[in-house]
Every structure is written in C-alpha cells, then in structure tokens.
Amino acid sequence: MPQKPIIIGVAGGSGSGKTTISRALYEQFSGHPITIIEQDYYYKDQAELAPEVRRRQNYDHPCAFDNELLYQHLTHLLQRRAVALPQYDYTRDTRADHTKHQEPVDVIILEGILALYDEKIRSLMDIKIFVDTDADLRFIRRMQRDYHERGRSIESVVAQYTAQVRPMHNQFVEPTKRHAHIIIPSDEQNSVAVDILMAKIAAILQQRLADS
C-alpha cells in the first residue's frame, strides 16, 4: 500500500518570506515526488463581477479563498488521486481559464498567508510553519512584487496595504501563529530552522516507507 503523503503548511504575512522557505524545502527534497501548492490558487472565481468590483475585493480576508475546494483537493492527494489545481489571473482579478494538473506526490507544501487558518485544512497537516517577519520588510516586499509581477501601481499597493493588508494581518494572519509547530524568523539565519525541518520530514518519510 502506498505511503501517505506528508502535508506541510507554511503561513505568514504577505511578503514574509514564505516562498523562500517553501522553495528551500522543495529543493532539498527534489529527489522525492514533491510539490508546492499556493493558497492563492484558490482565490474565489469572480468572473461574474465587473473588473472595478473585482479590484476592490479584500483578498486578505479568509472569505476570499475557496477553502472547501482546497480541502477537497488535499484530501484527494492524500488518497493518491490526481487533481486539477485552479490558477489565478492577477491581471484580471479572477480565476484563470486553465488549470494545473497535479499528480500525487510524497510531500505537499501548502503555502499561503492563511494556510493555518482553516481548522479542517490544518487538521490534514503533519508540520505547521509560521514565517515571522517585521511589518516594514513585508510591506517593501509586497510592493515590489505587486508592482513588478502583478502590474499594480504604487498608489494602489499603498492604498490596499493600509485599508486591507495590515488590518487583515493583525486580525486573521498573526493569530494563526499559535497553531504553528515551528516559527521561523525571516532573516539570513533561518538555515538552521530549515535544516531542522528537513531532518523531521526525512524521518517521517522513512517511517511511512517502513510502515507501507
């Protein structure tokens, strides 16, 4: 019987360094079937809304995500069933027309600002991580990303951060830190935490292989 996949949740504020941590784990376990699933894939479809209405939506609120679909897909992957991951078009502020085929893998990294928020999704995780970063650094990183990668103006990024991102972080993201097994500071010294995580993941893989 195939071994049960490992699910690792990586949460933290926007621009905290979640992707850096996730990529470091991915690269270290590239010898195993492994994937990164971004929670952002599961922003709700807004195709029926006018473009100006879409842009005004609060994308940092838990209600912005289709957690039921995410839970369903993670459950299917745990059952070694392939899924079609939704994709999101940030230039149109709605779900893209295409999906991404995902075969079952041994290690699933779920990365997102609210990856640890939903209790049902959290219950599927073997390891829960929160990446902790100062607010000013998170803001700078978000501005750079949204401006260069998502075609947003600096004025719109600042307005969104002030009205939505900062208050949503304080209300919903920061409190999920209490669910984490490991809290990683996002700085140049986080390699120690990554090494500890790799050892833990390797131990779980080895145990499940022995049990299968």
Residue numbers in the known binding site for ATP are 12-19
Binding-site positions read: 12-19
Helix, coil or strand: residue 51? helix
User: Which residues have a Cβ under 8 Å from the Cβ of 7 and sit 6 or more positions away?
Assistant: 74, 78, 108, 110, 124, 125, 126, 127
Element (H, E) at 132: strand 127-132
10 Å CB burial of residue 181 (0-12, 13-18, 19+) is middle
Residue 127 to residue 200: CA distance in whole angstroms: 9
Helix, coil or strand: residue 105? coil
